[in-house]
Amino acid sequence: MHKTPEITRLIHENLWIVISFAFGQPAIAKFVDARFKGEWKYLNKTVYERAEIRADRALLEMATQLRVLDDAEQLNSHFTQTMGVVIQGDGSKTELHFRDLTNKIMHAEKFEWELSDPDNPKVLCHSNDPARWKSAEINLTTLMALIGMLMH
């Protein structure tokens, strides 16, 4: 059996990577654009590509860890708040709840970071099966609140 304190510690570590990217990327992009003129190939690769790849990986790891914790602790019955919205295959919208959040992240074909509103960052999970569901929009503030309640 997995040890709950270790899993929650890893979840918090991955949350930090996710929110650091979500809140920090717009600020660092603005800074780089203002201070680094000309071609900065490797700096741009770090700021615009590598950081996002790392955030994607942290999000996926966190979803897996949340799923393991949910299986052990039945978190789904305690976390009833809406985590975002799912666009179904027929175009209808449904609420995204905790257990479905982990499913959408784990089964996404790709992630898209919506960072234009610095006070309300979101991540879109694009489906690997668009006939069933097209995308899921995750509110990162709500995710922070949920994970902030987990002891480690």
Phi, psi angle pair for 30, to nearest 5°: -65, -45
What pLDDT score was predicted for residue 80? 83
What pLDDT score was predicted for residue 151? 84
pLDDT, one tens digit per residue, over 51-108 is 999 999 999 999 999 999 998 888 877 888 899 999 999 999 999 999 999 999 999 9
Domain residue ranges of the chain, discontinuous segments joined by +: 4-148
Q: 39, 48 in Cβ contact below 8 A?
A: no
pLDDT, one tens digit per residue, over 17-60 is 999 999 999 999 999 999 999 999 999 999 989 999 999 999 99
What pLDDT score was predicted for residue 43? 95
| Dist. CA 47–CA 37, nearest whole Å | 15
What pLDDT score was predicted for residue 2? 65
Whole-prediction pTM value?
0.92
Residue 82 CB coordination number (10 Å): 13
What pLDDT score was predicted for residue 85? 98
Residue 30 CB coordination number (10 Å): 10
| Dist. CA 126–CA 144, nearest whole Å | 21
Nearest-5° Cα angle at 88, 121 to 145: 30
